[in-house]
Amino acid sequence: MIEGSSSTRQASRPDLSEWKAAVAGFQKPDAAKASWQIINTVGAYLLTWVLLYFVHDISWWLTVPLAILAGGLLVRVFIIFHDCGHGSTFKSRKANQFWGTVCGFLTFTPYSRWRWEHGRHHATSGNLDRRGIGDVWTLTVAEYQQSSRWRRLAYRVVRNPLILFLVGPLVLMIFIERLPSANGHVKERRSVWVTNAVVGLLVTGLILTFGLVPYLIIQLIILSVAGSAGVWLFYVQHQYEHTYWAREDEWDYVAAALQGSSYYRLPRVLQWFSGNIGFHHIHHLNPAIANYHLQSCHESSALLQSVPSITLLSSLKSLKYRLWDESGHRLVSYRQMDEMLSSSAAA
């Protein structure tokens, strides 16, 4: 569990110059490491599809585990896609654009549109007055209490783990990513239509190759594994008890990064599949640092190692948190909210 109250961590927060010094030297892309990641991730993902072609007619006992493996690899493909969006994978802007677009085709995600929305996430993470783009729907206790019955019901449905981590990711990847954003520019809209066209061609080719039913089963397994894991990683890296939310006039970028982004200590194999994104505090401090530099950056600085962390087991506690308590500066469960309101009424 992430320990320490928000007030304690606020008092010990380093200033701008300290964290800049801590991450200096890790912003330079490494062409060799980036190229190797393309090979061992994108290459491995495509190879897994080849193996699936040869085994799907032999045994589903072979096919399903391979599809699950492909789902894990697709998480890592998405991390490369994500880093290209930040311009951190390669030094060349064109290389980032090319590989980001390719990885976007594989993950069913329009590169330019996602890059724009994710940029908003980094610029507004933890800001209560700028919620709504690139984040998990989060209401304050007061907002929930003032909501209509239908809005409360919708909120509970969306925040239900079955919807949030199983149904939601599939709906997002298959349907929502197919629609251009109403606020998007021409470039973002074009990326949606181009991605849709390429994904349509890929899907058609794979259906003709595998057959409709086998393809749908395999693809749904892959997207379910990748989507659920991806949403879980995003969720747990920002939704824990003593995370960071503040109003616009008090919001601080460094505090949002160090207090509102977790250090998720995962077993090595899961750290590999998740592309080191567990070092999320560093990523939010400076998104120009590529995933292949995050661990080295973390290990180089006592400052960065001093941040609170969560483990695979303790992260499960994040499932109960639903609402932001502005007075207590923490996320609370529905039960905790009811207890707080009962205590206030009794007083």
Residue 207 lies in a domain: yes
Q: What is the mean pLDDT of residues 27-41?
A: 96
Give the tokens for residue 120: 């908003």
Residue 80 lies in a domain: yes
Residue 1 lies in a domain: no
Least confident residue range of 164-173, 208-217, 301-310? 301-310
Q: Domain tally for the chain?
A: 1
322/140 Cα distance (integer angstroms): 9
* pTM, two decimal places: 0.92
- In the three-class reduction of DSSP (H, G, I as helix; E, B as strand; rest coil), residue 264 is classed as strand
Least confident residue range of 17-26, 157-166, 181-190, 257-266? 17-26
Asked whether residue 10 carries a pLDDT value surpassing 70, the answer given is: no
Beta strands 309-311; 263-265: pairing state: parallel
Q: What is the mean pLDDT of residues 104-112?
A: 96
Q: What is the mean pLDDT of residues 12-37?
A: 81
Mean per-residue pLDDT over the chain, rounded: 91
Residue 93 lies in a domain: yes
CB count, 10 Å around CB of 251? 19
What phi and psi, each to the nearest 5 degrees, are found at residue 336? -65, -40
**Banded pLDDT at 1 (limits 50, 70, 90):** very low
Torsion of CA 90, 233, 263, 299, to 10 degrees: -40
Q: What percent of the chain has pLDDT over 90?
A: 78
pLDDT at residue 257, rounded to an integer = 87
| Residue numbers of the domain that contains 187 | 6-23+30-346
**Banded pLDDT at 16 (limits 50, 70, 90):** low
Q: What is the pLDDT of residues 60-84, one digit of tens each?
A: 999 999 999 999 999 999 999 999 9
**Banded pLDDT at 183 (limits 50, 70, 90):** confident
The number of helices, as runs of H, and strands, as runs of E, in the chain is 19, 5
**Banded pLDDT at 127 (limits 50, 70, 90):** very high
Angle at the Cα of 266 (from 86 to 229), degrees rounded to 5? 65
Cα–Cα distances (Å) from 254 to 12, 250, 302, in that order, read 12, 12, 17
**Banded pLDDT at 2 (limits 50, 70, 90):** very low
Residue with tokens 């008092």: 11
**Banded pLDDT at 303 (limits 50, 70, 90):** confident
Residue 340 lies in a domain: yes
What phi and psi, each to the nearest 5 degrees, are found at residue 242? -100, 55
Q: What is the mean pLDDT of residues 204-226?
A: 98
